[in-house]
Chain A
C-alpha cells in the first residue's frame, strides 16, 4: 500500500516538475521580452500560454539527426544522464512540513553528488558528438562546474554548522518561524558565494560560456536535435529549480512564512523559489558574459577563499556563543 502511495506521489511530483519546466521557459521568454521592449510569445493561446506545449510537441516530431561519426551509445546516453541526475535531486527537497519524498539524513550531500553526476552528462555529450565546437563546450563546462561546485559546497558548510544537520527538513526547522531566524542574515557571505556559484552550476549568464551562442554555436549540445535537445533543456531548468530550492531551504527559511496558508502549505516555498528564478532571468537579460579564464579566476581566487573565511568565522562565532 505504501508503495502505491509512494508511486502516486512520485508521479504527481514528476508531472508538476515537468509543468514547471515547461512554464519556466515560457516565463523566461515573457520576462526577457518585456525587459527588451518586446512582448515575447503572444500567438499560441491567450498571450502565448500554450507556447511551451507547442514547443514540446514540435521537438517530439523533429527529425532525429545523429552525426555519422558520433559514438552512438554515449551520444544517446548523455542527455539521459544529465536529466536523471538532476531529477533524482528532487526526491529530497522539502516542499512543506512533511512533504518530502525521501527524508534522508544526508540530503544536502546527496544533492551535491547528483549535481556532480550531471556534469558527467555534459562532458560525455561534448565528446561523443565528435565535433570540435561541442568538444570545446563540453570541456569548458566540465571545468566550470567542477570549480564552482567546490565553492558551492564550501558556502553551505556554514549552514551545516549553524543547523547541525545535513537533513534538509531539519535545516528549515532550525531556522525557525520568524524573519530573523533565516540564515540569510548570519550567513550573508555564504549566501553571496552560493548565489554566484548557483549561476555557474546551472550554466546561466554571466557564466554561460559553454553554451555561448555567439561563440560556440550552442556548445556541447550543438549536434543534438529534437527531443534530445529538449532533454538537455529540461535538465538545465530542473537544475535551476533544484538550486533555487537549496537556496530557499538553506538561507531563506524553506516553507516558513509570515502567515500559514491552510490549503496549500508549500505556498511560501514556491514563492521563494520563483523569486530566485526571477532573479536568474533578470540577470540573464542584463549582464554580459564572462570570458573563460576570468570565470575560472573568479571561482578559484575569489569565491573559494571567501567561502573558507565564512566557514572559519561561523565556526568561531558558534564556538563562542553556542
Chain B
C-alpha cells in the first residue's frame, strides 16, 4: 500500500488526533497529538491490511532551531514497517516544552524499552508507564540532556565523576607514594617510628 494511502486511512480512523501529513522524497510522516499514541500504534500494528509489526526506530527531536512555527518544541518519531506488506510510515508525536512526556509503547514492542531510555537520557522526554526509566548511555549522575539544542557541543564542564577521581588522586599524593621506593607489601600511609610504624 502506498504510504499516503496509509496516512489517509489513519486519518479516517483517528480524525481528531492527526495534525498534519507531510510527504518528502516518497516517505510520508504523520504528525499526531501525543495523547492516544499507544492506541494509534496498536491500531497500525494490528489492522490486517496494515500490520506494521516492526518498530524500526524511536527517537526524539528537538525543534528549537527550526524556523517552522507550526512545529512544537519536542517530537517523538516512530518509524514503522510492515514486513508482511512491505510498506512503511512515520508517526511523529508532537510534545510541548513544559511537559515533554508521552506514553510508553513498551507494551506493544519490548524492544522499545532501551530506545525510550536512550531518548530520555539524551533528550529529556519522560515516558509514562516505562518499567525502568533511567539513563543508559551517560553515567547515572550526569546532569542535563545533551541532544537538546541549548546544550553546548563541548558540554558544561567536567563530569562529577571525573572531578571526584582527580580529587582522590590529589589526596593520595599527600601520602607521597613513590612506586620506586616502596615495596608492594606496604599498605596505607607510612607511619613514622613514634606512631608505631616500621
Contact = CB atoms under 8 A, between A and B. Distances in A.
B184 A63 contact: yes
A193 B187 CA distance: 51
Contacts of B184: 63-65
Contacts of A64: 184
Contacts of A320: none
Nearest to A64: B184
A68 interface: yes
Contacts of A65: 184
Contacts of B187: 68
A137 B184 CA distance: 27
Classify the secondary structure of A's interface with B. Answer: loop
B99 to A, nearest CB: 44
A65 B183 CA distance: 11
Interface in B161-198: 184, 187
A62 to B, nearest CB: 10
Nearest to B183: A63
Nearest to A68: B187
A59 to B, nearest CB: 15
B180 to A, nearest CB: 13
Interface in A50-104: 63-65, 68
A69 to B, nearest CB: 12
A8 to B, nearest CB: 38
A63 B184 CA distance: 7
A63 B185 CA distance: 10
A255 B184 CA distance: 50
A285 B184 CA distance: 38
A64 B184 CA distance: 8
A280 to B, nearest CB: 36
A68 B187 CA distance: 9
Nearest to B187: A68
B179 to A, nearest CB: 11
Interface in B3-50: none
Interface string A137-179: 0000000000000000000000000000000000000000000
B188 to A, nearest CB: 10
B17 to A, nearest CB: 51
A224 to B, nearest CB: 15
A173 B187 CA distance: 60
B177 to A, nearest CB: 16
A66 to B, nearest CB: 9
Contacts of A63: 184
A65 B185 CA distance: 8
B63 to A, nearest CB: 47
Contacts of A68: 187
A64 B185 CA distance: 9
A250 B184 CA distance: 49
A68 B188 CA distance: 12
B102 to A, nearest CB: 41
A16 B174 CA distance: 52
Nearest to A63: B184
A63 B183 CA distance: 9
Interface in A121-139: none
Interface in A13-71: 63-65, 68
A218 to B, nearest CB: 21
Nearest to A66: B185
A172 B184 CA distance: 52
A176 B187 CA distance: 64
A65 B187 CA distance: 12
4 contacts: A63-B184, A64-B184, A65-B184, A68-B187
| Nearest 4 interchain pairs by C-beta | A63-B184, A65-B184, A64-B184, A68-B187
